[in-house]
Chain A
Amino acid sequence: MEESQLLKGILESCILAIIAKGETYGYDILSTLESKGFDNIGEGTLYPVLTRLEKKEYILCRIGSSPYGPKRKYYTITALGSKQLVQAIENYKKITHTANLILFEEDT
């Protein structure tokens, strides 16, 4: 399986988890993702995910001013988003546990 396909499923939850830590914006999310090792994600990938999350009402977006002058979009998590994040973490744990059992099973 290609890395991008594997990433697609998990990226939404990772972004939701970053937003859950407090109000943030696109570039900041990108920097956090990069610092954790997701270094090949650009804004072209990030913004469609943010739009999806907003449409599902998992996050809220407000337009404010940036210290550099232009407009900036700030994101916060909603109650529904927090609930979804808990669910996503549970699902992820379950899936990775099962996958690990199969992928790293040692023949005895």
Chain B
Amino acid sequence: MSYLDSIEYKESKKQLVGEYKDTFHQIESFYLAYDGKKYEAILTLSLIMDSFLEAQASKKPIEKITGGNTKKYAIELLNAEYDRHQTKYDFIKSIVMYLFIILIVITYKTFIIHPYATDTLTQKMNHLTFGICECSLIIYTLIYTSFKKFLIQIFYDKKWLGKALLSLPYICLMLILNRFGRVSLEDNTSPFNIEWFTIPFPLFIVLFTLTAVSLIFLLILGKKYDKRIELREEFEHYQLAEVTCLTCGNEYDYDYPKCPYCGSVNESV
């Protein structure tokens, strides 16, 4: 379970009042909208809450902590946390993962799709060159990453709009693939007359072995160099902020005075 659902987190959050409480809620919903429950976001939220609680106790104005610009403050702190965990290992990891994706695409196109398949969708996919698939994937990743950064900056206060717009690169990718698929199907030729995906079997074996070995190495190296492991360990094993009703056996929020299912009194409150 997430640290954000733990008693520790919820109890700490309850201590915040006034402008500290409002600002924290604003930052929390911003992080959760764009970064889900990633460990970096969870740790940053925890650090912000700690600073807010201490500043609140010493009656400091919130501007002394945030610098007067909540949006900038929230983004800078989260970026610093992401930057902190970025190592050379992550670069190697992304290359190996990319190699792995290429292998999956090659396997799919070489062994799974039958060249004389009658199903329309399968035929469309079959006519897509390996090059188109791969280029689309790279372009999609690049567009998605930069688009996300841009949307975060613009739609800090309108997260729903930001999240909705974030699906645009995916729609574009689907349209591009569909378009190339249709063209190929109609003409029965490759869009650029490039058949990159025909991989000779020995080369496939080399690629397969290389990817397998890289993945094993990655797992071994990860224990030493993946800085996110320390975060994962930090935020695991938290007590869920729920209690089990002694009368009906249902689970509900630990701080409810009564069970919402049967009305029995919560004796732990």
Contact of B73 among A40, A42, A63 (CB under 8 A): A42
From B8, B43, B48, B54, residue with most partner A Cβ within 10 Å: B54
Residue of A nearest to B84 (CB): A51
* A69 and B66 contact, Cβ closer than 8 Å, known pairs A50-B80, A63-B43: no
Chain B residues within 8 Å of A55, by CB = 83-84
Q: Which of B9-17, B140-148, B200-208, B253-261 lies at the binding interface?
A: B9-17
Say yes or no: A44-B66 contact (C-beta < 8 A), given A55-B84, A68-B12, A70-B47: yes
B51 touches A43 (CB 8 A): yes
CB contacts (< 8 Å) of B231 on chain A: these are 63
**A46 shortest CB reach to chain B, Å:** 9
B50 interfacial contact with A, CB 8 Å: yes
Interchain CA distance A28-B53 in the complex, whole Å: 13
B residues within 8 A CB of A70?
Answer: 8-9, 12, 46-47, 49-50, 53
| Number of residues from B at the complex interface, CB < 8 A | 35
The listed residue with most B CB atoms (<10 A of its CB), out of A50, A54, A70, is A70
**B residues in contact with A63, CB < 8 Å:** 43, 230-231, 234
A66 to B68, CA, bound (A): 25
Q: Per a CB cutoff under 8 Å, which of B8, B63, B83, B84 touches A69?
A: B8
Are A44 and B73 in touch, CB under 8 angstroms?
yes
Give the distance in Å from the alpha carbon of A47 to the alpha carbon of B82 in the complex.
11
Asked if residues A71 and B77 are in contact (CB atoms below 8 Å), the reply is no
* Chain A proximity of B43: nearest CB distance (Å): 6
Known A-B contacts A47-B80, A68-B54; the reply to A26 vs B47 at CB < 8 A is yes
Q: How far is the CB of B82 from chain A (nearest CB, A)?
A: 9
CA distance A26 to B46 in the complex (A): 12
> In the complex, what distance in Å separates the CA atom of A50 from the CA atom of B51?
15
Q: Which of B53, B76, B81 contacts A44 (CB 8 A)?
A: B76
Contact A48–B73 (Cβ < 8 Å): no
Q: Which of B2-55 contact A (CB under 8 A)?
A: 8-9, 11-12, 15, 43, 46-51, 53-55
Which 7 A-B residue pairs are closest in the complex by CB-CB distance? A42-B67, A69-B12, A44-B76, A71-B46, A68-B53, A47-B80, A70-B46
